[in-house]
Amino acid sequence: MELEQMRQLEAIERLGTMSAAAEELHISQPALSRSVQRLEAELGCSLFEREGRRVVLNDVGRVAVDWARELLRDEHLMREAVSATAQRAHALRVASVAPAPVWRLTGLMVERFPQETLTSEIVEEDAVLRGVVEGAFDFGIVLDPPHQPGIVSCELMRENLSVTLPPNHPLAARRQVTFADLAGETFLILTEIGFWRGIVDREIPDATYIEQRDRMVFTQLSYSTPHCTFITDAPFQSDPVPGRAVVPIVDEGAHAVFHLIARADATDIVARLFSWVRGDKTVPGSILSPYS
């Protein structure tokens, strides 16, 4: 169960309807319903009884929401402790929808401000924006730059998804493939890939995924696995894979443009790093106007 799912479960129980919970969480009702369905599938049981427009926790759901509240309290305490430590250490706090743009931002920071440090976490896009607006994060990295007062954005990097295949695979000789071409395949997949996991789940729903959490173990297995894997052209991830065919995926969903966002009233190192990423010729004391 992911933290965002815990927040969703608690909000549904507290507010009583999917629509009210979706409004509070700033997501669409269909997206919330799909998330609940995924959670119930992961747990292998139903959590709610539907009574018209209202949803009521069943016995299993009440146990789940009690644990969710406990874990959310622990997560809140953890955030406060981490935030206090980060402030003492002058670490910049970054939330991103994917890991690769965090690597890009880190590289730019080290190039221009080598004395600074950075802490990061991978969360959903709505949580990134909410965290930046509320001041929980100094920077956010999103796919869709927000158009709202008080938030500035600029393009950070682009990333394109490919599939790697064993040389005897029927698609290995292709110059490009589509998600439809990969239907029914089995993939060795790294779990911490942010929004990309939602993309492949949606675009290749009948694929089989063998999950690996450890990045080093995943890298070692990816050289010899008989299954497909995913790779992108992002820095630190685009090196040639020995003995594998790397075939680009051409669908629109396989191409991402990441944007760096920050509060327009940010000052000091946050303003200076944002301006460096944006390509400003001068280093302001604060970010004065939106830039997309």
Domains of the chain, by residue range, sit at 3-73, 90-292
Other Cβ atoms closer than 10 A to 206:
8
Higher pLDDT, 80 or 254: 254
The C-alpha R_g of the chain, in whole angstroms, comes to 21
pLDDT for residue 283 is more than 50: no
**CATH number listed for the domain at residues 3-73:** 1.10.10.10
pLDDT digits (tens, 9 = 90+) for 164-190: 999 999 999 999 999 999 999 999 998
Please, what's the b/e burial string for 21-40 (b: 16 or more CB within 10 A of its CB; e: otherwise)?
Answer: bbeebebeeeebeebbeebb
Please work out, in degrees rounded to the nearest 5, the angle formed at the alpha carbon of residue 195 by the alpha carbons of 194 and 196.
Answer: 95
**pLDDT of 60:** 87
Find residue 161's DSSP bridge partners: 232
**pLDDT of 91:** 81
**pLDDT of 195:** 86
**pLDDT of 125:** 92
Average pLDDT of the chain? 86
Question: 237 falls in which pLDDT band (50, 70, 90)?
Answer: low
pLDDT digits (tens, 9 = 90+) for 82-129: 666 655 556 899 999 999 999 999 999 998 888 888 899 999 999 999
**pLDDT of 8:** 86
pLDDT digits (tens, 9 = 90+) for 9-33: 888 888 888 888 888 888 888 888 8
CA separation for the pair 110, 53 (Å, rounded): 52
Question: 284 falls in which pLDDT band (50, 70, 90)?
Answer: very low
Within the chain, strands assigned E span 48-51, 54-57, 91-96, 117-122, 139-142, 151-165, 186-190, 208-212, 229-232, 245-248, 255-263
**pLDDT of 90:** 64
Higher pLDDT, 289 or 232: 232
**pLDDT of 203:** 95
Topology, domain 90-292? D-Maltodextrin-Binding Protein; domain 2 (3.40.190)
As a 3-state breakdown, the chain gives helix, strand, coil percent values, each rounded to 5, of 40, 25, 35
Question: 1 falls in which pLDDT band (50, 70, 90)?
Answer: low
**pLDDT of 292:** 37
